[in-house]
Chain A
């Protein structure tokens, strides 16, 4: 039935919209690249075919009646209205089919829940609207943001091949190893999904969920957040890159060295221009989704920063709200999300951009001192 539907759909599409490319008419689940996703795919196909067969039988009888037992054909109605044997049969047969179906489903589920003996642990934290990946044993982690430019989303630029499915820093995992994911969230519930892995799990604030994956084929795998998490729910993709183990180790060492270097920047003497340049970049990544690229915000949930009492008033209050967030609102605590350098740069930027011209400059050292005081 699906095949026919596919042909019919393609035919209809081909007739009505001849310019569309046929390659995009994906109609079925993909088998994916992991054992789990293959198991799921075969469960999916089995139950689909069971439904198709039942549908053919039931609708077959119905269409037969519709064609053959019409009044206009002169058909006289029979008068039967019960048959115990038939009624018992069509209660028992579906039940048996369900039991048969439940067996492989149970086995797959048990396997999916077995998170033991993992070789790599990655903690995944959902934020509005980005993912944080932390390699638990390596004491190292980073954020992964949407990389699709605003101009593509707002149709000022042609959309790229991986429109909305591309990030600045993908999650990197080694192939052939059992990777355990520990999921949680910082604000609202998110859900981390990579269709090719057959892995989807909710990231819930205050709780830790577990799931796992073993990818044997190197490659880039894309997915999305699948739990409504606010305004930019559609704009927080998941990208996972599976690489050979040696490559993974080299990458990890490089990243840790880079992170160390980043920390050292705190002690550097920064100029206003450097901070403004860095601040603009950090602002666009971390703040612009809510407060808008031009600082105009979207009140009342997301106040404007342009001319706001926070951004033009007391510096310490400004640092406080950025570092610690504001309880009971959507304003997150960025103290652990951004480096001291980025925090200083963002605050400096906010105090001087869009005509806020306070002339204030906040250095990374001041941020460090502020954090240490707390």
Chain B
């Protein structure tokens, strides 16, 4: 497809951007339950629906558990389904997330990343999405409102590839992305329709009149493993499909995305690994440090699942030190959530930086500032000097 010139640009928050993408995708069914900071996605989309701008069946459910259950039911009939949630909502959906992926249903879900209770907190943190990494969903994290808009469209395309047939979730950090106003370039209905295409059946069978059969069945020890292996094959296929889809999207929009996005990694001795909104801050700091002659780069991670292990190990091999800047938390683990994934990737490909440290930062929406990245850079150099990989609770008062 040719590049779309003169894309309409609008000032939108991340949440509104998702709603505007949905306006032109016009999904068949959207079951949703409100939760901060996702609320505006559904508020805005409900306005479009009330104005008759979409043909969607909007289902008001009584909980997120019901939202995902309704999404599973709708998707099993061959409908194109979207929902959105955050934090406790993701947690309440947890059981059904596995049913969506195990049933190979290409549901698309926005996660307005927010810290998990207790204590209750409504601000940005990636833990809610990262803890679903074993649920069998293709999982993206975006940096800004534009990426939230674009991931909404890209998500349907990836999820619905017959050889992938997996649900897709993508994160936009609470308030920092969901509520901050930014210019967003938008696509018209026809372009989006041509890009995503007609809905492709998730398998060769769906619930439909005159099409008897069954889904959501019991599989005992004699078949369960084979069906799980099929899911891993779906993930493997997603590895091949994702770069293809991102390329195709780039051709239309001029916005070329990648699973991992290196910045100033040429001749770098040190690197940050970031995901989500803090990547922009990291870029500014890396740029400034480079202008002072510091050998530092960074890699922004877009895809959490499937994990881009090969690309990362290639980028990070032979570096002196790597600092994973992780806006999430796990307890009693060898390192932060993203650092443990990265360590497995490096071990798998047997290509290592000398030191792999991680920093737990910005929990509960605490700002991650340029000063933090400067401090983390000094800390990384210190870790390398002392030849120790550490996990730092960065900026916490002790």
State whether these chains interact: no
